[in-house]
Structure 1
Amino acid sequence: MTAAVITGAGSALPAALDQKAAWDGFFARHYEGVRAAERIFMSAGVRRRHAVANPIDEDLSGWGTGARMARFIQEALPLGKQAVAGALDAAGLAPGDVGLFAVATCTGYATPGLDIRLASDLGMPAGLQRLLVGHMGCYAAIPGLAAVGDFVTARSRPAVLLCCELTSLHVQPAQRDLEQVVAHALFSDAAAAIVVEPGAGRGHRLAGVVARTDASTADHMTWDVTDLGFRMGLSPKVPDVLSRHVGDVVDELLTQAGLRAEDVAGWAVHPGGPRIIDVVRDELGLREEQVGASRRVLAEHGNCSSATVLLVLQELADVDGPIVAMAFGPGLTLYAALLLPA
């Protein structure tokens, strides 16, 4: 079978926002009187994040969903274009070479969507196949990668995956709800793209994907469409559920390839929060430096939903050996992918 190989990556980030400045300039009064709010906000492992809508400058918490969706298209188009163009340049391909363009997002929708608008703007062919991976949440990059990988293997044509998430457009009205404090402390904006080519002799090939959904814990993480944007529900029990499943998922992924955890050269763990990284480290018996790329991405960029694991993979761009990428989200769902040197 033709291998599906990641040969290029690109990203685009809106303006940076210091975490302390975000608290002092907006969220302190937003959560005034909520005990422990500042401590939770400042212990999220985030030093700065990126926002197309800086809450210090503009308060979107009272905006309707329609206005937020219109803003999404306005802001996502230039970010998506920059990320995809960067990935294509890194791969040495032209937009006309692309056979499938997949877009993953859970933070904005329109029809025609980002896939159609960006394909046209970038000059991708009229016969381009397109795929929208919508509302899966933080883990969407991995099933997105699996889908484009299957296309590349079956069709022997290149594909592009773009993850574009603008969580800053979904700031919620002030509520005495610590789950909302956690969500507002963690989430950030980013666009990240990868190019996957058939049979390339450079980069990392997709060697396997494993998924696990624990439907009994479906209420632990939610992303509800409301009249005032999308609202996150985030239970503190999420790391406990992850601890029950992550070992088995990684064992299955590596066993299929005849590998063990000690054979893995790079770990791209979705940094859903500090406790998420801690649980993965401890359950898999990893050293702290092995999750260093995830810590750095969380600190410098925050949790950018589906784009985040692609940002971590960019941190691991110089790793020559096997890489395990994993992400977690609503369901509760765990996805993991094995990438081997081409």
Structure 2
Amino acid sequence: MSSPVALMSLATADAPHMLSQADALAAAYRLFESRGAWFDRLAPVFGNAGVRARQTVMPLSWYAEPHGWPDRAQAYLEGGDALFAKAAQAALDEAGCTGAEVDIVVTVSSTGIATPGLEARAMRRLGFRADIARIPVFGLGCAGGATGLALAARLAAATPGATVLLVVVELCSLAFRLDAPGKADIVATCLFGDGAAACVLRAGAEGFAHVTGFGEHTWPDTLDIMGWRVDPQGLGVVFARAIPPFARRRLRPALTAILQRQGLALEDVGRFLCHPGGAKVIEALEASLSLGQGGLDHEREVLAAHGNMSAPTVLYVLDRARRAGLPERSVVTALGPGFTASAVTLARAA
């Protein structure tokens, strides 16, 4: 990139309802007690997930009721709109910008459908100009935080002087299903929460870090590893047990190739900032990248406090890392549907 793209700010926004893992397990027992031994065999995953609590857009009682597409869509619009505005305004405030100064807004979300998008619904509240360029992005899943950051950086680099606002919103809890839960749904119930993150980028500006490179790697014949299935009642999770061993075997060579295209090696990276898909995924990432057990401490902290929020989660990790002090070079990376690894290389601002 000819002019370095600065990350001028980064903000996170928690959903309004706190759900402890103990309360989630108790609720699951009540809801699935009729399934007896089937649920008893799966219940230990709540204790092994690495999650203490997460936040949701709806109160716990809402999830105990049957909901179809209309209810879930309305909850997505209301909850997503509120989190979008909260995260975006905080990022703008930190960057010293107003909504009227934003030239391009990138919205990343894969847990609901909004047409017009969340950014259009928030225009008046945030003071966006009528000529703002709106870019909604759907389908990236857990990789959306990293890929969205790369896309926002590309746009900032291609439009010198433009202020780019990236907002990532995911409401994973709305996919909780009572009708016909499978093993993947139960695992998702013990892992997933809701949240949002936003950042402001501009080429040639001052910030806490600069984006120096990015890349992706999509493995062929892996469509069934992660994603959504579409059912009459809503979205259902596709979450293969193969994810941790796949990450252990395949992530290192993929990141090696991405970094080589930037003239870098794994050894040049001071810290990998990874999307924490779950406790087993974190262990697999540490093994794949030879980080040593416990090396991904920020990731474990975010998972414990917020669960897996899908796309925003890696930006929560980045936020913790920058407050603790970024190394000279770091790489933000996440795995998502495709099956795809996405990576963004950051240089700490002087």
TM-score, normalized by the shorter chain, greater than 0.5:
yes
Match among 154, 164, 167 for residue 150 of structure 1: 154
CA separation of 1:95 and 1:31: change in aligned 2, threshold 3 A? same
Report the identity percentage: 31
Higher mean displacement: 43-52 or 106-115? 106-115
* One-letter amino acid of the structure 2 residue matched with residue 127 of structure 1: D
* One-letter amino acid of the structure 2 residue matched with residue 5 of structure 1: A
Q: How does 1:46-125 map to 2 (within 5 A)?
A: 46-55=51-60, 57-59=61-63, 62-125=66-129
SS in 2 for 1:277: helix
1:310-339 deviations in whole A, cap 9, x for unaligned?
A: 111101112142111111111211111111
Match of residue 21 from structure 2: 19
1:231 pairs with 2:236:
yes
Work out the CA distance in 2 between the residues paired with 1:289 and 1:202.
29
Match of residue 138 from structure 1: 142
| CA displacement at 1:220 relative to structure 2 | 1.9
Match of residue 8 from structure 2: 7
* One-letter amino acid of the structure 1 residue matched with residue 139 of structure 2: H
Match among 334, 337, 342 for residue 330 of structure 1: 337
1:263 pairs with 2:263:
no
CA contact (8 A) 1:267 1:290 kept: no
CA separation of 1:172 and 1:126: change in aligned 2, threshold 3 A? same
Match of residue 281 from structure 2: 276
* One-letter amino acid of the structure 2 residue matched with residue 6 of structure 1: L
Higher mean displacement: 207-216 or 322-331? 207-216
CA contact (8 A) 2:216 2:258 kept: no
CA separation of 1:87 and 1:176: change in aligned 2, threshold 3 A? closer
Higher mean displacement: 45-54 or 317-326? 317-326
| CA displacement at 1:60 relative to structure 2 | 5.5
TM-score by length of structure 2 reads 0.92
* One-letter amino acid of the structure 2 residue matched with residue 151 of structure 1: L
CA separation of 1:253 and 1:212: change in aligned 2, threshold 3 A? closer
* Alignment RMSD: 1.6
Equivalences, count: 340
1:214 pairs with 2:219:
yes
| CA displacement at 1:121 relative to structure 2 | 1.7
Match of residue 245 from structure 1: 250
SS in 2 for 1:290: coil
Higher mean displacement: 305-314 or 317-326? 317-326
CA separation of 1:120 and 1:30: change in aligned 2, threshold 3 A? same
Work out the CA distance in 2 between the residues paired with 1:299 and 1:82.
22
Work out the CA distance in 2 between the residues paired with 1:7 and 1:77.
23
| CA displacement at 1:289 relative to structure 2 | 4.2
1:38 pairs with 2:43:
yes
Work out the CA distance in 2 between the residues paired with 1:91 and 1:147.
19
Match of residue 303 from structure 2: 298
CA contact (8 A) 1:204 1:341 kept: yes
SS in 1 for 2:257: helix
Q: How does 1:185-200 map to 2 (within 5 A)?
A: 185-200=190-205
TM-score by length of structure 1 reads 0.94
* One-letter amino acid of the structure 2 residue matched with residue 98 of structure 1: V
CA contact (8 A) 2:9 2:207 kept: no
CA contact (8 A) 2:247 2:288 kept: no
Higher mean displacement: 166-175 or 120-129? 166-175
Unpaired runs of 5+ residues, structure 1, are none
CA contact (8 A) 1:208 1:253 kept: no
SS in 2 for 1:93: coil
Work out the CA distance in 2 between the residues paired with 1:197 and 1:158.
5
SS in 2 for 1:84: helix
Structure 1 ranges of 4+ moved more than 4 A: none
Unpaired runs of 5+ residues, structure 2, are none
CA contact (8 A) 1:68 1:229 kept: yes
Work out the CA distance in 1 between the residues paired with 2:295 and 2:301.
11
CA contact (8 A) 1:222 1:233 kept: yes
Work out the CA distance in 2 between the residues paired with 1:251 and 1:163.
27
1:67-126 deviations in whole A, cap 9, x for unaligned?
A: 211111111222111111111111111111111101111112122220111123200111
